Amino acid sequence: MNTAVGSPTDATRTTNADSADTGTEENLKKVAGRPLSPSQQEMVSQIKLFMDQSKTAISAGDVERGRNLALKAHLLSDELVKP
């Protein structure tokens, strides 16, 4: 079976998820030393949950779901570090 040109492979999706995880972890480090409001603390918990679920999904072979969860975690972490 031929893969369509431009169609992402599982390896590409996994790489994208890894990149999102790296950026997310960097964002979490940026806020680690500062006081957070209750809503920001909830965001951190949700980000960590998405990251854990992403890793579990990828380990189970569901790369697309893993990538989507990693992206959600990354987008939330971007919101968290905005001034």
* Cα separation, 63 vs 39, whole angstroms: 30
Candidates 76, 27, 21, 26; CA nearest to 47 is: 76
**Segment 22-78, tens digit of pLDDT:** 899 999 999 998 999 999 999 999 999 999 999 999 999 999 999 999 999 999 999
Which amino acid is located at 23 in the chain? G
When mean pLDDT is compared across 1-5, 11-15, 37-41, 68-72, the lowest value belongs to: 1-5
* Cα separation, 57 vs 25, whole angstroms: 18
Six-digit token pair at 71? 């992206």
Q: Are 19 and 74 spatial neighbours (Cβ–Cβ below 8 Å)? A: no
pLDDT value of residue 48: 96
Residue 23 to residues 5, 14, 60, 72, Cα–Cα distance (Å):
28, 14, 23, 12
pLDDT value of residue 3: 46
